[in-house]
Copies of this chain bind each other. A is one copy, B any other.
Amino acid sequence: MVGEAVVEESSVRETYIHPVHLRWSDEDRNGHVNNSKFMTYTEDARIAWLGVMRAQTGAGPGSEGVILASLHCEYKAQVHFAHTKELEVLNTVRRIGSSSVELHQTVQVPGAEVVADLITVLVSFDYDAGRAAPWGDEQRAWLGKYVEGVGDAAAV
């Protein structure tokens, strides 16, 4: 059972941390990083994280095997290129579906302020067939390592 496995591994829950290097043009004319850039930062984090899945489980999806189903972003603080050249995205799993995964992606100044808090839902997608592709057992187990807390894991 995936749920049991997650519970057992809850003491070793992992957070995937992805570094973000700002670009000057990430800012818009209001003098702060544009709202759409947080989607790019978290996209890069997901792609890198899924690359680890592929490397560790021998199976995709890689960058071309998922589709973004939904996204919720709370903007917490303005980011200014003059003050911050790097951010980091902290990634954990909130829920694992048959072919989907709900991620919690927190964007923060390294070791400091959270600037954006996102929930993103990915669907493992077979682009050739044009439909969702269920996770394999190994992928589910891998995703389980990133599930947030024991309570959430029980709901998986």
Indicate if A126 sits at the interface (CB-CB under 8 A). no
18 pairs, A vs B, C-beta closer than 8 Å? A24-B28, A24-B29, A27-B29, A28-B28, A29-B31, A29-B63, A30-B127, A36-B36, A36-B37, A36-B39, A36-B43, A63-B82, A67-B75, A67-B78, A70-B73, A71-B73, A71-B75, A72-B73
Interface of A is mostly: mixed
Indicate if A83 sits at the interface (CB-CB under 8 A). no
> Interface size of A by Cβ–Cβ distance < 8 Å?
33
Q: Which residues of B contact A55 (CB under 8 A)?
A: none
Q: Is the CB of A25 within 8 A of B24?
A: no
Indicate if A98 sits at the interface (CB-CB under 8 A). no
Indicate if A8 sits at the interface (CB-CB under 8 A). no
**Complex-state Cα separation, A63 to B30, whole angstroms:** 9
State the Cβ distance, A74 to closest chain B Cβ, in Å: 5
**Complex-state Cα separation, A80 to B72, whole angstroms:** 23
Closest to A80 in B: B29
Q: Which 4 A-B residue pairs are closest in the complex by CB-CB distance?
A: A36-B39, A21-B21, A27-B29, A72-B72
